[in-house]
Amino acid sequence: AQRVTQPEKLLSVFKGAPVELKCNYSYSGSPELFWYVQYSRQRLQLLLRHISRESIKGFTADLNKGETSFHLKKPFAQEEDSAMYYCALKSSGGTSYGKLTFGQGTILTVHP
């Protein structure tokens, strides 16, 4: 069975400080990993996916298969980064259509 763990329910940092949101997964195959974000009063939206190896809004995430982690990082947090962040896993292969396994989420608060 696949599982996603986000160990921190709440994370508070000050503006300009580095931030790291942790995500660990359990999956025997080769996973597809995503970070989704939900800003206040907005719908859930994709932030980034591991396959793209991109930086979105200054955030990056590296898939570490040895540690089964996909932590989200940003060197200098901004107040507008305050939101709920979800790590999600999709199993590869042809039977996992539309099915994401989500972590419990981390509420990030960036203080001025």
Partner 1 sequence: KAGVTQTPRYLIKTRGQQVTLSCSPISGHRSVSWYQQTPGQGLQFLFEYFSETQRNKGNFPGRFSGRQFSNSRSEMNVSTLELGDSALYLCASSLGGQNNEKLFFGSGTQLSVL
By CB under 8 A, tell whether 40 contacts partner 1: no
By CB under 8 A, tell whether 69 contacts partner 1: no
Interface residue with partner 1, options 45, 55, 64, 78 (CB under 8 A): 45
Min separation Cβ 19 and partner 1, Å: 21
Q: Other C-beta atoms within 10 Å of 42: how many?
A: 9
Q: Other C-beta atoms within 10 Å of 36: how many?
A: 19
Q: Which is nearer to partner 1, 17 or 46 (CB)?
A: 46
Report how far residue 44's alpha carbon sits from residue 5's, in angstroms, rounded to the nearest whole number. 18
Q: What is the dihedral of CA 7, 9, 10, 11, to 10 degrees?
A: 30
Min separation Cβ 102 and partner 1, Å: 4
Contact 72, 33 (CB under 8 A): no
By CB under 8 A, tell whether 86 contacts partner 1: yes
Binding site for partner 1 (CB under 8 A): 32, 43-46, 49, 51-52, 86, 90, 92, 95-105
